[in-house]
Amino acid sequence: MKTLALVAHDKKKDALITLVKRHEKTLSAYKLVATGTTGGRIREACPKLDISTVKSGPLGGDQQIGALIAEGKVHGLIFYLDPLTPMPHDVDVKALMRLSAVYNIPMALNEATAEHLLSGTSFA
């Protein structure tokens, strides 16, 4: 079973949960891993999904997911960034995105891209 990582900044958590609810059937085919608060909120909203959590992003969760990517244990990333809010752990966020690019895994950084990945629609 492939693993998909789910991460969302505070102001984007509700939007990610809405996406997960909308695509719960599709996501049930994956093992899910999420940063602390995001994972807890997803578990509450969709208790049937197989989701495990790591630490909160600023406390090392972004790095934990990055390590899983480097180990080949995460096969895709949906990371709802909040581009308008400063992040004290910006360097961790950049490292996570870098590892996703280095290991060539699908990475959605916004709702439009996540929708395309999960619904299988084309760009044409």
Question: Active-site residues: which are they?
Answer: 62
Q: Is 32 helix (H, G, I), strand (E, B) or coil?
A: strand
Instruction: Give me 62's structure tokens.
Output: 């972004």
Distance CA(109)–CA(22), nearest Å, equals 17
| Residue 25 contacts residue 45 (beta carbons within 8 Å) | no
Q: What residues contact 93, with CB distance under 8 A and at least 6 apart? A: 57, 62, 79, 81, 87
